[in-house]
Amino acid sequence: MQRLTTSRVLRIVFYIILAVILVIQIYPIFWVLTSSFKTADDMAFLPPYAMPTGLFWGNFEKALFHSSLMRYFLNSVLVAVGVLAGLIVLGAPAAYAISKIRFRQSEHLLSFFLMGMMIPIFACLIPMFQIYNTMGLRNTYLSLILPQAGFGLPMCIYLYTGFMKFVPNSLMEAATMDGATNFQVFLKIIFPMAKNSTITIIIYNFVNIWNEFTYANTFMTKSNMKTLPVGLNDFVGEMGRRDWGATFAAIVLAILPTLIIYFFLNKNVMEGMAAGAVKD
Amino acid sequence: MKPRYKWEPWLFSAPALIVYVFIVVIPVVWSLGYSLFDWNGITSMKFVGLNNYARMFHDQTLGTTILNNLLFMAIGTVFQVFSGLIMAIILSNITRGSNIMRVIYFIPCIVSSMAICKIFEKLLSVQPEGVVVAVMKLFGMQPVALLSEPRWALLVVTLIDGYKFCGLYMVIFYSAFMSISNDVVEAAYIDGCTWAQQYQYIKLPMIKNIFFVVLVIVINGTLKGFDVSYILTNGGPGNASELVATYMYKTAFNSTQFGYGSALSVFLLVESCLAVGIVRTFQSRAGKKE
């Protein structure tokens, strides 16, 4: 294997290509990070690609304490927690029933759920809007939690069944012999065993929920109910003349949580995102 | 395991099923229903039969939009699949720095499209001068307002969307390459296979199925493309970067034509199912050849 690759010229070419792509991939993020430290003077007089003259925290102060960013942050967290809790609580038992309790319609039930992965959210957006409008759910956290939980379920159930299928039945039979009910088997044995699936589901969905734009832009019209991605936009317009320094600081603060999680769990995040995308 | 009693499995799956039906299934059917009405959300609904669908054939904006979306799909697919594949090949061939490169390369995937759009809006802006324009000037070029130039807007939107997602395909291809057993490659090497040939004859054919999976994801994703176009250019200038999803969204929520908007959303649903079906057909045909 090694001998097939170690042509020296080829390796140098590889590293050059890598370096170029790396710069392209990372530059926008790097640039927004450095720009968030620029003072108004830096912005006005330095060329846009120049580094800031010093570490100026004023932009962050403005973003944190003189705007609704903290509120948006809270909204995003609450929505994420709601969706994730809903997904696990609903998805795991359903997957258990489909993969471990033998019943006639289990195959059909699974394909019925998986059908949902084909449906674009735009096909549901208008009726959702009308339903939530009539039920008074607009501008509540539920209006973001419900659709994301509903559309997240197919993938969640798919990943759980994919794991649970391979848990040996003998394990569960032994527990049943000792008098455990199906629910106890699920809660005490299968669900703890599926920890890795749970982590994958949480990571994949967290990234998506944190970055979700369409629902938040459609259902949340009150300014104090906005989530971070939409709030970022609002923030730009709010300052009249766009205060780009504060905007950059807000962007940095908004992407920080995912970056921190990614920093510690990058392997899980990459695998989780890929597993979520490669559904079949 | 056998159920204790007949409806026990339903006890486990009913909550999920109910939520799923009410949130996903019913609205889809509802959309089909809405698409048969003329309705602005306030006055009473007027049944118009298939008129909304007939209107699509005369809607020139929709024609432009579909064409844009096909270009968005074609360029986006080529760009994302190729850059992902090339990165995966390179990264699976080097030993030093491969992991850290992968981690960095994936970062745009976890950043929200809103943040990415805001960053690029500023990078590409002309007044105040953004980095791209400043660099153009450094090289003595005439600065171009890429986002307000009809010729460039769609391409820029496509590339930014691709920029955000290509890391994902790198990860998928990379893990596919890693799962190929070394024995196969070593055997080929002993038979005199060169570096390029190992890809041509062994590795790429072996991950053919992953190719189709990736193709389904990219095509499905680009046909439903929304965020970048909506946030960065709002479909403009004019209709230059309008996609089907953004057009549908604006028709429904900006011009409150819920009936026609629903018809467009049904079109989007049918279109993406059709595209995935076509890819799947190719996949099963490619599978049969062997």
Q: Please check the confidence at residue A2 and state whether its pLDDT lies above 60.
A: no
Give per-residue pLDDT as tens, A111-167.
999 988 888 999 999 999 999 999 999 999 999 999 999 999 999 999 999 889 888
On average, the pLDDT of chain A sits at 86
* Dihedral over Cα of A43, A44, A50, A51: its sign: negative
The C-alpha angle with vertex A143 and arms to A203 and B10, in degrees rounded to 5, equals 70
Mean pLDDT of A256-280: 79
* Interface touch A259/B13, C-beta < 8 Å: no
Q: Does B282 touch chain A (CB under 8 A)?
A: no
Here the tokens at position A201 are: 């589901």
A264 and A225 in a common domain: yes
Inside any domain, residue B230:
yes
Q: Please check the confidence at residue A242 and state whether its pLDDT lies above 80.
A: no
Q: Does B278 touch chain A (CB under 8 A)?
A: no
Question: A160: number of CA atoms within 13 Å, CB side?
Answer: 31
Chain A residues with CB under 8 Å of B253 CB are 129, 218
* Interface touch B4/A181, C-beta < 8 Å: yes
Residues 6+ apart with CB under 8 A from B273: A118
* pLDDT recorded at residue B83: 92
Chain A residues with CB under 8 Å of B135 CB are 49
* pLDDT recorded at residue A1: 44
Q: What chain A residue is nearest to B181 in terms of C-alpha separation? A: A1
Chain A residues with CB under 8 Å of B225 CB are none
Task: Please count the structural domains in chain A.
Answer: 2
A76 and A53 in a common domain: no
Chain B residues with CB under 8 Å of A229 CB are 112-115
Closest CA to B157 of B264, B215, B224, B243: B243
* Interface touch B134/A47, C-beta < 8 Å: yes
Q: State the residue range of the domain holding B213.
A: 60-114+146-289
Task: Please count the structural domains in chain B.
Answer: 1
Inside any domain, residue B52:
no
Chain B residues with CB under 8 Å of A35 CB are 122
Inside any domain, residue B93:
yes
* pLDDT recorded at residue A280: 45
Which parts of chain B register pLDDT below 50?
Answer: none
A74 and A8 in a common domain: no
* Interface touch A29/B224, C-beta < 8 Å: no
Interaxial angle between packed helices A69-100 and A142-164, expressed in degrees from 0 to 180 and rounded to the nearest 10: 40
* pLDDT recorded at residue B43: 77
Q: State the residue range of the domain holding A205.
A: 65-277
CATH number at residue B89: 1.10.3720.10
Min CA distance, B50 vs chain A (Å)?
18
Min CA distance, B150 vs chain A (Å)?
23
Chain B residues with CB under 8 Å of A176 CB are 1
A130 and A81 in a common domain: yes
A212 and A85 in a common domain: yes
Name the A residues in 56-75 with CB < 8 Å from any B CB. Answer: none
Inside any domain, residue B216:
yes
A71 and A28 in a common domain: no
Query: Using an 8 Å Cβ cutoff, are B196 and B89 in contact?
Result: no
Q: Does B266 touch chain A (CB under 8 A)?
A: yes
Inside any domain, residue B34:
no
Chain A residues with CB under 8 Å of B194 CB are 4
Output DSSP code: residue A194.
T
Min CA distance, A7 vs chain B (Å)?
9
Among A21, A44, A61, where does a domain finish? A61
CATH number at residue A186: 1.10.3720.10
Q: Please check the confidence at residue A78 and state whether its pLDDT lies above 90.
A: yes
* Dihedral over Cα of B170, B173, B175, B181: its sign: negative
Choose the mutation target among A6, A17, A25, A191 for the interface with B, i.e. most B CBs under 10 Å. A25
